Structure 1
Amino acid sequence: MKQYKWELLVLLWLAFFLNQADRQIFSVVLPLIRRDLSLTDAELGLIASALVWTYGLLVPIAGFVGDRWSRRNILSFCLLFWSVATLFTGFCTTLLQFVLLRGIATGGGEAFYAPSANALLGDNYRQNRSFALSIHQTAVYFGIILSGLAAGYIGEHYGWQKAFYLFGSFGIVLAVVFFSRIPKDVPNVSLIRQSSALTEISQTARTIVRKPTVVLLTLGFGCMVFVNVGYLTWMPSFLVDRFSMSLTDAGFSSLFYHHLGAFLGVLSGAKIADHYAKTNPKSRLIVQALGLLLGAPFIYWMGQASSQTTTYTALFLFGIFRGWYDSNIVASLYEVVAPSVRSSAYGLMLACAFLIGATSPYLLGLLKPTLGLAAGLSSLSGFYVLGGLLIGLAAWVFFGPDRQAVSDADYPVNGQPQIPVTHDDLA
């Protein structure tokens, strides 16, 4: 069992690595695509936003599917789907093709990954859930950093199309390995046999949104996503324009320092939260709120710094506190929702947050010719402050009443309660 748990974590880490790497390639080679295809900044921002909009619309469906069907099968097929879409993005020559393949197809495939993956990890790592989920989260940072370096180099030397071919091919191979190595899990048969999917979605959604803590966590997550997708889309171009850097150097530097800090932050944040949550479960939310509030000044500094050294320092410290927030995204939510609907709850949370944050790349691209990227990126700091205040409110006012009375110990690994639980019981 222990060996399986580690193999599961490794394969999920690799899948999440490609999930993030495939998403980031476009932002790194964006200057080359703009030059070759003569697309405007607003059109490039629209392509980036299309992926996030698609992700946000489909991820709640992915969450409900993850509570009802084999998560192994869901993860294998969605990895294969988005990897094929990534590979074929290299053949795009028009705005519409990019929106369809890079935005809708890639975003749609990736939407089905996180709810099932996190639920599968949550079921298998009960005693050290934050730590396991944080290890999984580090794949985000490695995926973004290495894709920035590799895509920038490949784009400069061999053409931007080759970057999409390479990462898409890796994903197809990993999908085959994943399907062959991970045993098929047993789906939640009782949920499959219930009423129609739309009825189940609405019932579960009503159960979840009755909790103010979940609503405020979701709004705080939306603020973080707004900052993150805007930063990821435009920071490589900002360094190219501001410091006349090569695409390879800008792709690496814009992502490495921030995600190095985030890697350290997510591990330290998880340890801090796990330690204090033993006696005070709201500590997970407090760590998240502090991460956003303490990270806000460095986002402002990131856009206003006049040298590469100060920009990299700001990116690193922004990353440290972003990691504190990331370390408890899932663990905080799981404190206030029952295991039987965790995948669904996380899917809804992702949907709302990504729909909130989806407009960031488009707005920054639209404002770039007048406001400038420096001012636009610095203004993102206000969203971190707002998010921190919302999560702080959830921790101090609503967390206690919303927390579930039933502990994880009352549920077996497959997520089925030992005693009948109705939607009213979960409210």
Structure 2
Amino acid sequence: MFTSLAPRWRLVLLLAMAAALNYADRAAFSSVLPPLRAELGLSDTALGLMGSLFLWSYALASPVAGILADRYSRRMLVLVSLAAWSAVTLATGAAGGVLSLALLRIGLGVAESLYLPAATALLADHHDTTTRGRAMGLHSIGLNCGVVVGGAFAGYSAQHFGWRTGFVVLGLAGILLAVLARNGIVDAVKPAGAIHAARPTAGAALRYLMRVRSFYVLLLKTMLAGFTIWIFLSWLPLYFNEAFHMTLGAAGFAGTFMLQISTMLGIAGGGWISDRVARRSPRGRMLVLGLSYVCAAPFLLIFLQRPGFAAVIFAVSAFSFLRGLGEASEKPALCDVVPACFRSTALGLMNTCATAAGGVGVLLAGILKRGWGLESVFAGSAAIFIFAGVWLFIGYRSFMAGDIARARAFEAQPA
């Protein structure tokens, strides 16, 4: 079945598998916070700092990763990143103390930063506007599936075999995939006479992006979303453990499954909606994204009532599904307003902003947890999503059409 797929869809499948491991390795840490706290004697603030170290190192390295993916082989960067972060994950299973664990979290951030700019641009290289939403949607499903698998597996392994076991298994799986995927992940053949066949400099990429107003819209949106989503990814498993006295395995599963399975279902439908909307007008992708955020936000207000488990399941699932419907349009929208030769740089900058904001969110949630409680932190995220939705609507009305036309004109220039 795998060999019968067209090469561009075979690429999507392999990148989705790599994406699943990418997020599984980072999600595993959140599911083993209780035994980590007990073994290493960490406070809630220190746990938040450990999560932030990964995000901040990822953020600092992402611009460089984007520049590299615009200048060199995107295929090679994907494979190197996959092998490197898997090796770091494997080593995490042997961490001997707080310092070594902190250094490994930083190393994981640097290694994983190479992946998304190269992989997303590689998908855009192989898929035009008629299939780009679905291709990137399937890739995003892999990312979200990885959060569920990584969180649940690490929590179960920690409960039955110790917290280190999950990291060892996930690390070995990534190294094996890096070896098996070498022939299926390929660079796209670029037209010889097109301007995007050349290797752009970082300065040229930044000069172009500074003039793309839609890029600023997406940049702020990704910061607001990253701030909020990383709070949920990092603290929801511990919330279930403490609020409902769930086991580590159950809390790791519940804290990731509800958040991510609904997002995956939303993305699956959202990718199809995104491509349908783009056939009429590519700028419609930003409208879909903004509407989904505004509709999703109110469901988080249920946390103000200190809800029961069933209510949390409903609210988080509805929020995640609606967010996923729009999220499938984010990266295709970026690819519509940025020429192919600058896309990885743009994606690297977006990753920087999202993860840097996420690191602040994770640390701030750890600080506020004692005084306010996680319920108030989760509920406050609703206001952030409503603001992001309104901001996206402004970008749709004011900037998107002109930026799309400018990107197409730029790509039509001779080298």
Q: TM class, shorter-chain normalised?
A: over 0.9
Q: C-alpha displacement at 1:2, in angstroms?
A: 5.6
Partner of 1:154: 157
In structure 2, the residue corresponding to 1:152 is in which secondary structure?
Answer: helix
Deviations 1:217-276 (A, max 9, x none): 110111111111110000000011111111111111121122221111112222222212
What amino acid does structure 2 have at the position aligned with 1:234? W
Alignment of 1:27-46 (within 5 A): 27-46=30-49
Aligned pairs for 1:8-407 (under 5 A) are 8-102=11-105, 104-126=106-128, 127-183=130-186, 200-302=201-303, 304-405=305-406, 407=408
Q: Which moved more, 1:28-37 or 1:183-192?
A: 183-192
Q: Any conservation in 2 of the 1:265–1:323 contact (CA below 8 Å)?
A: yes
Cα distance between partner residues in 2 of 1:149 and 1:2: 30
Shift of 1:95: 2.5
The 3-state SS of whatever aligns with 1:420 is: coil
Q: 1:66 corresponds to which letter in structure 2?
A: A
- Seen in structure 2, the aligned counterparts of structure 1 residues 161 and 72 have a Cα distance that, compared at 3 Å, is same
Answer whether contact 2:148 2:256 (CA < 8 A) is retained. yes
Equivalent-residue separation in structure 2 for 1:5 and 1:400 (angstroms): 28
Say which SS state the counterpart of residue 7 (structure 1) adopts: helix
* TM-score, reference length from structure 1: 0.90
* 1:218/1:349 contact within 8 Å kept: yes
Q: Distance in 1 between matches of 2:174 and 2:7?
A: 21
3-state SS of paired residue (1:57): helix
State the SS of the aligned residue for 1:91: coil
In 2, are the aligned partners of 1:37 and 1:93 still within 8 Å (CA)? Answer: no
Distance verdict in 2 for CA 1:191–1:100, change over 3 Å? farther
Letter of the 1:346 partner, please give it: L
Whole-angstrom CA distance in 1 between matches of 2:257 and 2:219: 27
Contact 2:15/2:119, CA 8 A, preserved across alignment: yes
**Structure 1, 172-181 or 76-85: larger mean CA deviation:** 172-181
Report if the CA contact (8 A) 2:336-2:407 is conserved.
no
Q: Is the 8 A contact 1:301 1:378 kept in 2?
A: yes
Partners of 1:170 and 1:187 in 2: CA distance? 32
Shift of 1:174: 0.7
Q: Rate the CA distance shift 1:206–1:294 in 2: closer, same or farther, 3 A.
A: same
- 1:403 aligns to what SS in structure 2? helix
| 8 Å CA contact 1:264, 1:320 repeated in 2 | yes
Q: Is the 8 A contact 1:68 1:192 kept in 2?
A: no
8 Å contact from structure 2 (residues 122, 187) kept in 1: no
Cα offset, 1:213, TM superposition: 1.1
Say whether the 8 Å CA contact 1:292–1:388 is kept in structure 2. yes
Residue 300 of structure 1 deviates from its aligned partner by 2.6
The total of aligned residue pairs comes to 409
Query: CA 1:160–1:204 in 2, change beyond 3 Å: closer, same or farther?
Result: same
CA deviations on 1:285-339 (whole Å, 9 max, x unpaired) are 0111111111111223246442110000011101111202320111111121111
Cα deviation digits, residues 84-135 of structure 1 (max 9, x gap): 1011111223332222102x11111110101111111111121211011101
Question: Which runs of 5 or more structure 1 residues have no equivalent in the other structure?
Answer: 412-416, 422-427
Query: For the residues of structure 1 that align with 2:262 and 2:182, how far apart are their CA atoms?
Result: 33
User: How far, CA to CA, are the matches of 1:339 and 1:233 in structure 2?
Assistant: 33
Q: What's the secondary structure of 1:370's corresponding residue?
A: helix
Farther-moved stretch of structure 1 (86-95 vs 121-130): 86-95
Range that drifts further, 178-187 or 165-174: 178-187
Contact 1:63 1:346 in 2 (8 A): yes
Deviations 1:167-207 (A, max 9, x none): 01100111111224434666899889878xxxx22331121
Whether the aligned pair in 2 keeps the contact of 1:68 and 1:187 (CA below 8 Å) is no
- Does the CA-based 8 Å contact 1:87-1:167 persist in structure 2? yes
Distance 1:242 1:117 in 2: 38
**Is residue 258–residue 317 contact of structure 1 (8 Å, CA) maintained in 2?**
no
183 and 323 in structure 1: CA distance in 2 versus 1, 3 angstrom threshold: closer
Structure 2-normalised TM-score?
0.93
| Distance across 2 between alignment mates of 1:8 and 1:296 | 34
How many percent of aligned residue pairs carry the same amino acid? Answer: 32
What RMSD in Å do the two structures reach over aligned CA positions? 2.2
* Structure 2 match to 1:420: 414
State the distance in 2 between where 1:38 and 1:131 align: 45
